[in-house]
Structure 1
Amino acid sequence: MSSVLKNWIINIVVITIVLMTVAGYIDSFQLAGVGAAIEASIILSLLNAIVKPILIILTLPVTVLTLGFFLVVINAMTLSLTAQFMGDAFNISNFGTALFASLIISILNMLIQNFIVRPLTKK
């Protein structure tokens, strides 16, 4: 198995766990179950690979003016887009919830990647 595929699968697992955690604590952020969380993780990772770089380039002046904070808004946009693709299996009630959830998801993802995944995958 290539290292790129292995890293992508690890990322999907981490995002799935993070999405389920956030759904457990935020009432207006709902997932239908583990399958929905896995599907949302796959869609979110594809959007982050394809759509997010385009959005970053298009909004670069705003991102620079806000000292990078606008990246959280872009993350919220990709999270909301994921929820729209999934229909009833994944529901975010409003953009404020998506913004808050994307901030929490980013922090949890960073912590898990830095303190659990990287130490375990070092050679």
Structure 2
Amino acid sequence: MKYIVKILVVAAALWVSTRVVDGITVGGESTAKEVGTLLAVALIFGVINALLKPIIKTIGCAFYVLTLGLFALVVNAGLLLLTSWIADQLTLPFEVVGFWAAFWGAIIIGVISWLLDLIFGIDD
């Protein structure tokens, strides 16, 4: 149940980022298809974060220390771009155009996910 709520939280954060950041778009002929796309992209984003982020943190530990953690923003932007590429390969209508859109989108997704995690107590 915890994982389902987490996917819903990330999907909501992705939806907000599509509304706030120019360069992040989600398509679909209907609201149901758009929601389905957001859920699929949230699942992809979660799998990518679960698999790659620990490896990147281990390898890039020095960068995290030297930049006082700001390197995490660049990593999150890269993971969002990777998510967009994978979604494109799966013919999902989700697109992130450019690094800066991914950068601001990753910040928005991170903050909204954190707030919703606090509200719903997912990480308790």
Q: TM-score range by the shorter chain?
A: 0.7 to 0.9
TM-score, structure 2 as length reference: 0.87
SS in 1 for 2:54: helix
Matched, 1:100 2:104: yes
Matched, 1:113 2:112: no
Structure 1 unmatched runs, 5+: 1-5
Structure-2 residue corresponding to 1:64: 65
Structure-2 residue corresponding to 1:3: none
SS in 2 for 1:91: strand
Question: In structure 1, what residue type is equivalent to 2:10?
Answer: I
Q: Distance in 1 between matches of 2:81 and 2:61?
A: 20
Per-residue CA deviations over 1:41-63 (Å, capped at 9, x if unaligned) read 00000011101111111111011
TM-aligned CA deviation for residue 104 of structure 1: 1.1
Structure-2 residue corresponding to 1:84: 85
* Corresponding pairs, count: 115
Relative contact order (alpha carbons < 8 A, sep ≥ 6): 1 or 2 greater? 2
Matched, 1:21 2:16: yes
TM-aligned CA deviation for residue 27 of structure 1: 2.6
What CA RMSD, in Å, does the superposition of the two structures yield over aligned residues? 1.7
Structure 2 unmatched runs, 5+: 28-33
Q: Distance in 1 between matches of 2:98 and 2:15?
A: 18
SS in 2 for 1:105: helix
Per-residue CA deviations over 1:32-85 (Å, capped at 9, x if unaligned) read 211111111000000111011111111110110001111111111111100000
